[in-house]
Structure 1
Amino acid sequence: MFYLYILYSKTRDKYYVGSTADLEDRLRTHDSNHSGFTGHTGDWVIVYKELFENREESYARERAIKKWKSRKLIEKLISSDCS
Structure 2
Amino acid sequence: MEELVVYILYSEKFDKNYTGFTSNLIERFKSHNELGIKGYTLKFRPWKVIHVEFFDLKSEAMKREKFLKTGSGRKFIKILFKNNS
Q: TM-score, normalised by structure 1?
A: 0.82
Unmatched tracts of structure 2, length 5 or more: none
CA distance 1:69–1:30, change in 2 (3 Å): farther
What RMSD in Å do the two structures reach over aligned CA positions? 2.1
Shift of 1:73: 2.8
Structure 1 runs of 4+ with >3 Å offset: 69-72, 77-81
Counterpart contact for 1:2–1:58, Cα < 8 Å: yes
Where structure 1 has 5 or more consecutive residues not aligned to the other structure, the ranges are none
Relative to 1, partners in 2 of residues 1:79 and 1:13: Cα closer, same or farther, differing over 3 Å? Answer: closer
Aligned residue number for residue 27 of structure 1: 29
Structure 1 residues 70 and 38, CA gap change in structure 2 (3 angstroms): same
* Aligned equivalent of 2:67: 64
The AA in structure 1 aligned to 2:29 is: L
Aligned to 1:2: 4
> In the alignment, what sits opposite 2:42?
39
**TM-score when scaled to structure 2?**
0.80
Percent sequence identity is 32
The structure with more helix, counted as a fraction of residues:
2
